[in-house]
């Protein structure tokens, strides 16, 4: 099982602070695609992904128990 966390407006789009999903074996890219299909989320191309508080590339494979977080860079200033 994996905990998938969302920050900022992604959280509002998903409606939850986090989801419990079983996504072990999938890549980050696959998870992003799945989420974009199942939730009213914007494209996640430019959203940063963390696996266990470490930056992860799109081709990283998720392990069971990994905590995944989606951190959208914002442009305000």
Partner 1 sequence: MDERYSRQILFPGIGKEGQDKIRSKHVLMIGAGALGSGNGEVLTRAGVGRLTIVDRDYVEASNLQRQQLYTEEDVAEKLPKAAAAKKRLKAINSDVEINAIIGDATPSMLEDLVKDVDIIIDATDNFETRMTINDVSQKYKIPWIYGACVGSYGMSFSIIPGKTPCLNCLLRTIPMQGLTCDTGGIISPTVQMVIAHQSAEALKMLVEDWDAVRTSFVSFDLWRNQYTSLKMGKAKFSGCLSCGEERTYPYLDQENMTKTTVLCGRDTVQIRPSVQGAISLEKLAGQLGSLGYTVKGNPYLLSVEMGSERMVIFNDGRALIHGTKDLTHAKSIYQRILG
Q: Between residue 34 and residue 63, which ones bind partner 1 under the rule CB under 8 A?
A: 42-43, 45-46, 48, 50, 53-57, 60
The token duo for 3 is 């905990």
DSSP-derived letter for residue 9 is H
Closest to partner 1 by CB, 5 vs 22, is 5
DSSP-derived letter for residue 61 is B
Place of tokens 């951190």: 71
- Alpha-carbon gap, residue 69 to 76, rounded angstroms: 21
Contact between 74 and partner 1 (CB under 8 A)?
yes
Q: From 1-9, 19-27, 31-39, give the range in contact with partner 1 by CB under 8 A.
A: 1-9
- Alpha-carbon gap, residue 24 to 27, rounded angstroms: 8
Closest to partner 1 by CB, 20 vs 59, is 59
Closest to partner 1 by CB, 37 vs 76, is 76
């Amino acid at each position: 099982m994996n905990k998938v966390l969302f920050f900022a407006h992604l959280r509002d789009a998903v409606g939850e602070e986090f989801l419990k999903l079983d996504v072990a074996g999938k890549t980050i890219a696959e998870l992003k695609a799945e989420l974009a299909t199942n939730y009213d989320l914007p494209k996640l191309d430019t959203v940063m992904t963390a696996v266990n508080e470490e930056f992860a590339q799109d081709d990283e494979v998720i392990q069971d128990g990994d905590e995944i977080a989606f951190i959208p860079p914002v442009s305000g200033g």
